[in-house]
Amino acid sequence: MISSRVGEGQLVPPHDLTPAPTWTDYPRKLLRTRTGAAGAAIVGFLVLVAVLAPVIAPDNPMAVSPAARLAAPSARHLFGTDDLGRDLLSRVIYGSRYSLAGGVSIVLIGTLVGLVVGLIAGYAGGWLDEALMRVTDVFLAFPSLILAMAVAAALGPSLVNAVIAIGAVWWPWYARLVRGQTLRIRSQPFIAAAVVSGARGRHIVPNHILRNAISPVIVQMSLDVGYAILTLAGLSFIGLGAQPPTPEWGSMISVGRDYYLSQWWFVTFPGLALLLMVTGFILLSDGLLTVVPSSRGIT
């Protein structure tokens, strides 16, 4: 057994000498967990569907065929057709592109703004911290969905405006999370050592604080993508997001609600696709939560 002597009669157990895991270790650990492997499989499948949509979609999602209007699922149309005779399978496949791109964009907007606000507030402290956190509290005081609806209505109904509106109200949680991590890390001895050695804030923040605060942010991002997709679908459902004939799942469900009692497939398949995507990201985030430490630095 190898050990390291640090004082008279004091030995450090070998496991204490184990280096911190690197980012390349986490994918392997993630796939060893049941929830992580299931979430990664689902998300990977949906990403593949979105990328290969032009290849695997049996029809043009915009092609109208009045003769095939509201056709039930069959060998010709596996998911049936909608009120204009468009192939639902093709529209669901192409819809994965809009949902994935929209959800990821929302989370990226919220994360980038939250990182900047949280890092500045936590590291600078004082009146700047108070001012930024009071602005954050103002955003948190409003229900996020209601505020997103108001911003989307002001910008005008479209998918891009809905993404911007949701991203604009998504950042306060990240700001709070990053500020808390920054305050914790700023009090660590290695930060004091960096300051004593002459390091400036522009070096300390990205190389020491951000690097050690990013783990919980990544876990939160993986969880938030699913909720962002749901919120985007909700805005499209009430007419503030994607507009017909865009094959976005929330918009498809909105149009199909008038037919769900007799043409059940119209809302069922877009709804199942939405459920599958959100479930995949939730399982993925649950797996990440078990393998990515929230308090240990990453090298």
Q: What is the pLDDT along the chain (299 residues), one digit of tens a residue?
A: 333 434 444 444 444 444 445 556 667 777 788 888 999 999 999 999 999 999 999 999 998 988 889 899 999 899 999 989 999 999 999 999 999 999 999 999 999 999 999 999 988 888 998 999 999 999 988 888 899 999 999 999 999 999 999 999 999 999 999 999 898 888 888 888 877 877 777 778 887 888 888 888 888 898 899 999 999 999 999 999 988 888 999 999 999 988 888 899 999 999 999 999 999 999 998 888 877 665 444 33
The whole domain housing 278 covers 48-56+80-291
For residues 88 and 72, the answer to whether their CB atoms sit within 8 Å is: no
Asked whether residue 35 is assigned to any structural domain, the reply reads no
Asked whether residue 33 is assigned to any structural domain, the reply reads no
Q: Is the peptide bond before 245 cis (omega within 30 degrees of 0)?
A: yes
Asked whether residue 90 is assigned to any structural domain, the reply reads yes
- As a whole number of angstroms, the distance between CA 185 and CA 122 comes to 10
Q: Indicate the pTM of the whole model.
A: 0.84
Q: If we measure between CA atoms, which residue out of 117, 157, 181 comes closest to residue 243?
A: 157
Going by C-beta distance under 8 Å and a sequence separation of 6 or more, which residues neighbour residue 233? 99, 241, 248, 249, 250, 253, 274
Number of structural domains, the chain? 1
C-alpha radius of gyration, the chain, whole number:
24
Asked whether residue 74 is assigned to any structural domain, the reply reads no
pLDDT of residue 10: 42
- Helix/strand number for the chain, H first, E second: 12, 2
Tokens matching residue 93: 């496949």
User: Any idea what the CATH number is for the domain that residue 92 is in?
Assistant: 1.10.3720.10
Burial class of residue 127 (count of CB atoms within 10 Å of its CB; 0-12, 13-18, 19+): exposed
DSSP 68-79: GTTPPS-SSSTT
pLDDT of residue 19: 47
Give me the half-sphere count of Cα atoms (radius 13 Å) on the Cβ side of residue 187.
Answer: 7
Asked whether residue 42 is assigned to any structural domain, the reply reads no
The amino acid at 53: A
Asked whether residue 94 is assigned to any structural domain, the reply reads yes
Q: What is the dihedral of CA 51, 156, 234, 250, to 10 degrees?
A: -40
For residues 205 and 144, the answer to whether their CB atoms sit within 8 Å is: no
Tokens matching residue 147: 């505020």
